[in-house]
Amino acid sequence: MSKVIKVEDDIVHFDTGQTLYSDHEQDCCENHYLSFKDLGLNDFAGLEFDLDGDFFERVEDFGIRLLPVNGQPIPVPGYGSNNGYYSSNLTLVLCWDGGQKSFDISDCQEIEG
């Protein structure tokens, strides 16, 4: 089980050395991301996550929910903007020393433009 030890605007750090963040190959006139900026350590107090299992769920047109093995899900909004010409691809990345897993969450964002 993993516990959150640090939350930044765009990344979450776990006590196992793993990190969680969103990724988008940005081009001109677009931006797509998950926003952790309104979350703090207090939101994760006492929660544990099984990062080898189902640790999140996709919420279309919103973002994701992080699913602890105990307690309530933690909502994480996703945002996007572009002029309709560029990609709206968005990926959730779980990274650890020597590896990573990627999950397509392109439908999990509120897109403007």
The yes-or-no verdict on residue 62 having pLDDT over 60 is yes
| 64: containing domain | 4-112
Predicted TM-score (pTM) above 0.75: yes
The yes-or-no verdict on residue 96 having pLDDT over 70 is yes
Take residue 87 and report the two structure tokens written for it: 């990609």
- DSSP annotation of 41 reads G
pLDDT at 83: 62
How do residues 24-40 score in pLDDT, each as one tens digit? 666 666 667 788 999 99
Closest by CA position to 99, among listed 29, 46, 51, 47: 51
Q: For all residues of the chain together, what is the average pLDDT?
A: 87
> What total of structural domains would you count in the chain?
1
